[in-house]
Amino acid sequence: MSIPIYVDEDRRIEVMELPSECGICHKNIYPKYLTGTCVSGSLEQGTNMELVFKCTNKDCRSLIVGYYNNKNTENGD
Is the residue at 44 inside a domain? yes
pLDDT for the residue 18? 83
Q: Give the domain extent around 41.
A: 3-70
Tell me how far apart the alpha carbons of residues 54 and 7 are, in angstroms, rounded to a whole number: 21
Is the residue at 28 inside a domain? yes
pLDDT for the residue 54? 95
Q: 27 or 40, which is more confident?
A: 27
Q: 28 or 45, which is more confident?
A: 28
Which pTM value belongs to this model?
Answer: 0.71
For residue 72, pLDDT over 60 is answered with no
pLDDT for the residue 17? 81
Is the residue at 40 inside a domain? yes
Is the residue at 39 inside a domain? yes
Number of domains in the chain: 1
